[in-house]
Amino acid sequence: MLPLFDQSAGGLRLKTLIDLMGELGWKLVFGSLALREESPGILSTPSGLASYENALRRSGVTRCVFGVDEISVYLKETGRGLDMVFLSFPHVTNALLPLVRTHCPVASIVYDMVDFHGLRMSRQADVEKNEPLRKEAEKQRAIEVACARSADLTLAINEEERAAMLALAPEAVIEVMPNVFHMPEHAPAGVEARKDLLFIGGFWHKPNGDAVAWFVDRIWPLVRSAEPDVISRIVGSNPSNEVLALGAQPGIEVLGYVPDVAPLLESHRVSIAPLRWGAGTKGKVGQALSHGLPVVATPIGAEGMALRDGEHLLVAEDERGFAQHVIELLRDDELWRRLSLGGREHMATMFSTHVIKHKLDEVLRG
């Protein structure tokens, strides 16, 4: 489907890479595995589909094709002239890679893992003690390994997932391609004008629903008892009924989808990433740090960006430690200023548009 760049981290990653490829001079055609009429959510409406398709055109995409049949026709007509086919997400790659190999004999095939889905599912199975899910995770991992082995180049979102895939597919060619994080040109608002907690995450992505439920049930009472006036706001598209129900708890506000989160990032005191399972790089964490908003995260939430506890953010694995870090950031202005600066400088050095654009150019042309 078309990348929902304002609703999901995976969609934002894909859209940003398309933006950069357009800027680097690539001529782009976008293929959606989903048919037009089967696109989900806002893409199921004519206006929604047109809006996201027009966004791709502004990025340099000259044409969009939908469904395997349209993609097949396009590849039969033009495949011999293609230099590169970029396949994003394992289910897309698994479905289309044989077709691409058949019709694009000289094209380099690049597979973007986005995150290691099998790893994420395995971690979920560990948390939930779910043996059927563990078996599904093993099947998913096998699909991803096959994709990496079959592609000419595989992109991993961080060094940890590159190493994990190489351990399973040592013959694969894998490069790290981090997410891009937009750095606001202006300095972030100071601590004096800020208050409250913020969680951002799309709820089609299951780890986010688990994260906010765990936070509200196990961590929020500890924070609230120490800071009874603080509010925690939950932001993200497609909240489930279970997530919406969290708004009945004292001090919890579920805002749902917010088109522009920048004002929220500028006005809140602490960003939280209480993820118990997941994989890849957490867009919510990088986005907050890029805006100078300090983050309290679990180890899962903090992974993949070379972040150091106490220098760029605060990390805690258990409920009491997480709550204590939140309370510290609510009360300690000097700690807040130090983490705000440290996190923002780290993101600018490692993940800014300029840095990743240069890396993408090297990888794709190398």
Sequence-distant (≥ 6) Cβ neighbours of residue 343 within 8 angstroms: 288, 289, 292, 293, 294, 295, 307, 312, 313
Per-residue pLDDT, averaged over 293-318, amounts to 97
Q: Is the pLDDT of residue 25 over 90?
A: yes
**Mean pLDDT, the chain, whole residue set:** 96
d(CA 318, CA 312): 19
The domain limits of the chain are 9-181+352-365, 191-351
The tokens describing 140, both together, are: 């998913």
Burial of 55 (0-12, 13-18, 19+ CB in 10 A): middle
Are 9-181+352-365 and 191-351 the same fold in CATH? yes
38: DSSP letter: G
Confidence of residue 253 (pLDDT cuts 50, 70, 90): very high
d(CA 89, CA 14): 9
Q: What is the pLDDT of residue 318?
A: 97
pLDDT more than 70, % of the chain: 100
Q: Is the pLDDT of residue 366 over 90?
A: no
Whether residue 275 contacts residue 215, with contact meaning beta carbons closer than 8 Å, is answered with no
Q: What is the pLDDT of residue 157?
A: 96
Q: Taking the CA atoms of the chain, what radius of gyration do you get in angstroms?
A: 21
- Which superfamily does CATH assign the domain made up of 191-351 to? Glycogen Phosphorylase B; (3.40.50.2000)
Q: Is the pLDDT of residue 262 over 90?
A: yes
CATH architecture classification, 9-181+352-365: 3-Layer(aba) Sandwich (3.40)
Whether residue 333 contacts residue 274, with contact meaning beta carbons closer than 8 Å, is answered with no
Please report which helix (H) or strand (E) contains residue 176, including its range.
strand 174-176
- The residues that bridge with 87 in the sheet, in sequence order, are 111
Pick from 238, 281, 269, 280: which is nearest to 336 by CA? 269
pLDDT more than 90, % of the chain: 95
Tell me the pTM: 0.91
Per-residue pLDDT, averaged over 340-350, amounts to 97
Model confidence over 325-340: pLDDT tens digits?
Answer: 999 999 999 999 999 9
CA distances from 96 to 32, 92, 136, 286 (A): 10, 6, 21, 31
* CA of residue 18 relative to chain centroid, distance: 15
Q: What is the pLDDT of residue 8?
A: 87
Q: What is the pLDDT of residue 251?
A: 98
Q: What is the pLDDT of residue 229?
A: 97
Model confidence over 230-243: pLDDT tens digits?
Answer: 999 999 999 999 99
d(CA 152, CA 264): 41
Model confidence over 53-64: pLDDT tens digits?
Answer: 999 999 999 999
